[in-house]
Amino acid sequence: MVLPMADTLSMKVRYSGSVVILVLNGELTIRLDVLLSRFREFPSGLETEQRALIVDLHRVSSSSGGGVAVLMRFIRKRAEVNLQTFMCGLSVFMERLFRIVGLTQYAMIYPDEYTVLQRLKEVE
């Protein structure tokens, strides 16, 4: 039986210099896999001049196990190709969950996008 997926998740892609910023909005579900499909392969999905990735979760209202699993696989894959990855805007629950499952070994957690960009400027 196939259950229809609600269209309650969207993603906006922005760039700040050599940083790719993915802003997620809505419910973090398995639908994230479709939204991230254009970034599946590196370097063709994220151009080689990109040196960091920020996943902004400020606008994520809730999450499912499938959505969290998709995000984990995506971030782990970016780490394999040495793309610095940061997450910001996590709820207390999501931050604890990501620490428990070990996602923080692949992506650093910051309170907001501005703080991440400032840190990246310091290490240039």
Q: Hey, what domains does the chain have and what are their CATH numbers?
A: 9-111 (3.30.750.24)
Residues forming a β-bridge with 27: 62
Residues 47-80: tens digit of each pLDDT: 556 689 999 999 998 888 888 899 999 999 888 8
pLDDT recorded at residue 62: 86
Residues 77-100: tens digit of each pLDDT: 888 888 889 999 999 988 998 999
Residues 12-36: tens digit of each pLDDT: 989 888 898 999 999 988 888 888 8
Which residues fall within 8 angstroms of residue 40, CB to CB, at 6 or more apart? 77
pLDDT recorded at residue 22: 93
Return d(Cα 95, Cα 44) in angstroms, integer. Answer: 30
pTM score: 0.85
Name which residue leads in pLDDT, 41 or 42. 41
